[in-house]
Chain A
Amino acid sequence: MKFRSLSEAVEANVRDGDSVAMEGFTHLIPCAAGHEVIRQARKRLTLIRMTPDIVYDQMIGMGCADKVVFSWGGNPGVGSLHRFRDAYENGWPNQIAIEEHSHAAMANAYEAGAAGLPLAVFRGYIGADLPKVNPNIRHITCPFTGERLAAVPSIRPDVAIIHALKADRAGNVLLEGIVGVQKEAVLAAKRSIVTVEEMVDDFGPRSANAVILPAWTIGAVVCVPGGAHPSYAHGYYKRDNAYYKAWDAIARDRDTFLAWMKANVLEKGPEAFAAQALRLGAKAA
């Protein structure tokens, strides 16, 4: 584990053509890190995430991706991801491929990746059409009961990027609240970056079962207060639901999108996230 600046961490760990899992199930989405990948103009990434939302829309629209592996792609409670759809349906700014799964498949595949297994086995996709269009969904017969079960390859990304709450001085990191598949994603990946809300001397009183990733499982730790905005950080700041709603109009039009990205991402740095957190944190009662 190395403490780094965000630009150093991305420079050292994310390469053109990598498979990258930036996970977060509504909570703790590593948005600041996604913006840094955009600023460094990474190309041909395979973006993996159960629930691609705004930050992947931004990365796709800025030409970082050539493939997306996902199970639910949308702006939650709002509608479509317009940049994702424009890339997939019209090839702008470049054509992207998709590999589509169910949530259960991807959750199992991350867990299998963390466990060092080549595949995940589960009772899934029964009567559903996805196996007809995704050759990575296959079936296996249980050698003990004869039950036919679904199988998908485990997810073992080149890089996992997550956002956590705290890191201590040794670089161990703590997650609480809706923890999603972030622990599995980091343990499944070859390399990893964890951005955190704050650095602390000690995690202090906590449950013996708190989700903690030891420093030696992580490539780089970066302190980026507010780095999950517009998603939220449990106990720090609330989800910026109004941002998600406003994104729909921004992303709908290519020129509006590009102008917004220039002003808010290309010409800004990770410090812009701290102001958002402060604004929303004040409201977190």
Chain B
Amino acid sequence: MAQPYKPNEMMTIAAARALRNTDVCFVGIGMPSAACNLARLSHAPDITLIYESGTLATKPSVLPLSIGDGELCDTALTTVSVPEMFRYWLQGGRITLGFLGGAQIDRFANLNTTVVGPYDKPKVRLPGGGGAPEIAVSCGEIFIIMAQGKRSFVPKLDFVTSIGHGEGGEHRARLGLKTKGPTRLVTDLCVFEPDPETKEMIVTSIHPGVTRDQIVENTGWPVRYGAQVAETAPPTAHELEVLRELHTRTALAHGEQTGVAA
């Protein structure tokens, strides 16, 4: 039966809930940005949001279309150059949490945003890694938000744009990494967290009304479940209201007439 919210809304809200008031968060554009700002406008008003365009502690009232919209700078505590952002703030270890999306993900939460098919002869050429290769290793931990489907949740990535848990187990540690890597993957169906030993992403919470069959049908690898699987609490009226208002403000702000067509 129909629920009073969309799967996308459940996904954004479930992701937002995991963010803490004390986090210093490096925000990817799109769904991560929606989840981070929902958290800031609801339970985590003091969360520090950082966008790679150089804006530190920004508080946009509408979601940016790009990573460097004026809204981000206008509402930021300060804005630094892009080399400073990547050198001092990201590489310098000042960011507790990176929030990423992607086109393809595997069971160890490695991400591909570069290419579908061979690199030199792509089936689909995607935008590329941007900040992700270094966000994935320099932030204290990583959250990922992605709509689930067999084409995006694949057994093997065509290209590893940014590392998650690599080949699993202690792979990150063998590469000399001290950061945690992906600790949470939120989809429109469920929440995955890494198995403490193998680091494979396993289902730990299923959204209301979603069946295990649906999860299996939309995952390109044999899904494993945690010993205890919770049911995700449905969105509260307040969460839905804040998220929908944010999207409405954003649509109004971006929908203005353009002079592009002559």
Asked whether A239 and B73 contact (CB < 8 A) given A129-B114, A179-B54, the answer is no
A89 touching B122, Cβ below 8 Å? yes
B260 touching A246, Cβ below 8 Å? yes
Asked whether A102 and B133 contact (CB < 8 A) given A108-B83, A133-B119, A240-B259, the answer is yes
In the complex, what residues of A have CB within 8 A of residue B257's CB? 242
B128 touching A71, Cβ below 8 Å? yes
Which of A32-40, A117-125, A198-206, A215-223 lies at the interface with chain B? A117-125
B260 touching A243, Cβ below 8 Å? yes
Most buried by B among A77, A80, A104, A263: A104
In the complex, what residues of B have CB within 8 A of residue A127's CB? 110, 136-137, 160, 162-163, 166, 171-172, 175, 177
Among A103, A129, A276, point to the contact of B82 (Cβ < 8 A). A103
Q: Which residues of B in the span 207-245 have a Cβ within 8 Å of any Cβ on A?
A: none
Is chain B's binding surface mostly helix, strand, loop or mixed?
loop
A232 touching B70, Cβ below 8 Å? yes
Write the B139-167 contact mask toward A (1 if CB under 8 angstroms, else 0): 00000000000000000000111110010
Write the A249-260 contact mask toward B (1 if CB under 8 angstroms, else 0): 010000000001
B125 touching A128, Cβ below 8 Å? no
**Cα(A85)–Cα(B87), bound, Å:** 31
**Cα(A276)–Cα(B262), bound, Å:** 12
Given A77-B64, A242-B255; 6 other pairs, CB 8 A cutoff: A25-B82, A72-B131, A77-B30, A178-B72, A245-B254, A276-B259
**Cα(A111)–Cα(B161), bound, Å:** 23
A104 touching B134, Cβ below 8 Å? yes
Q: Which residues of A in the span 160-212 have a Cβ within 8 Å of any Cβ on B?
A: 177-181, 183-184, 211
**Cα(A180)–Cα(B72), bound, Å:** 13
**Cα(A189)–Cα(B160), bound, Å:** 32
Asked whether A102 and B70 contact (CB < 8 A) given A72-B128, A242-B260, A263-B262, the answer is no
**What band does the interface of chain B fall in when counting residues whose beta carbon is under 8 Å from A?**
35 or more
**Cα(A27)–Cα(B64), bound, Å:** 13
**Cβ-based interface call for B77 (8 A):** no
Nearest residue (CB) in A for B30 is: A77
* Minimum C-beta distance from A242 to chain B (A): 3
Jot down 16 A-B pairs with beta carbons below 8 A, ordered by A: A26-B69, A72-B128, A72-B130, A74-B128, A102-B132, A103-B86, A107-B86, A123-B138, A126-B133, A127-B136, A130-B114, A177-B79, A179-B82, A181-B82, A240-B259, A244-B65
Asked whether A130 and B133 contact (CB < 8 A) given A89-B122, A243-B258, A283-B256, the answer is yes
In the complex, what residues of A have CB within 8 A of residue B110's CB? 127
**Cβ-based interface call for B85 (8 A):** yes
Among B83, B128, B171, point to the contact of A184 (Cβ < 8 A). B83
**Cα(A242)–Cα(B67), bound, Å:** 16
A124 touching B134, Cβ below 8 Å? yes
A178 touching B73, Cβ below 8 Å? yes
**Cβ-based interface call for A56 (8 A):** no
Among A85, A129, A179, point to the contact of B159 (Cβ < 8 A). A129
In the complex, what residues of A have CB within 8 A of residue B55's CB? 178
**Cα(A242)–Cα(B261), bound, Å:** 11
Among A100, A107, A129, point to the contact of B160 (Cβ < 8 A). A129
**Cβ-based interface call for B196 (8 A):** no
**Cα(A5)–Cα(B175), bound, Å:** 53
B128 touching A181, Cβ below 8 Å? no
B70 touching A25, Cβ below 8 Å? no
B119 touching A126, Cβ below 8 Å? no
* Minimum C-beta distance from A243 to chain B (A): 4
Among A76, A234, A247, point to the contact of B65 (Cβ < 8 A). A76
**Cβ-based interface call for A141 (8 A):** no
4 residue pairs, one from A and one from B, having the closest CB atoms: A26-B68, A127-B163, A242-B258, A76-B66
**Cβ-based interface call for A50 (8 A):** yes
In the complex, what residues of B have CB within 8 A of residue A238's CB? 70
**Cβ-based interface call for B91 (8 A):** yes
A181 touching B68, Cβ below 8 Å? no
B259 touching A73, Cβ below 8 Å? no
**Cα(A263)–Cα(B69), bound, Å:** 28
* Minimum C-beta distance from A239 to chain B (A): 6
* Minimum C-beta distance from B81 to chain A (A): 5
In the complex, what residues of B have CB within 8 A of residue A80's CB? 125, 127
**Cβ-based interface call for A2 (8 A):** no
**Cβ-based interface call for B129 (8 A):** yes
**Cα(A275)–Cα(B261), bound, Å:** 14
**Cα(A241)–Cα(B131), bound, Å:** 22
A73 touching B70, Cβ below 8 Å? no
* Minimum C-beta distance from B219 to chain A (A): 23
Q: Which residues of A in the span 60-99 have a Cβ within 8 Å of any Cβ on B?
A: 70-74, 76-78, 80, 85, 88-89
* Minimum C-beta distance from A185 to chain B (A): 10
Asked whether A103 and B73 contact (CB < 8 A) given A50-B82, A180-B53, the answer is no
**Cβ-based interface call for A153 (8 A):** no
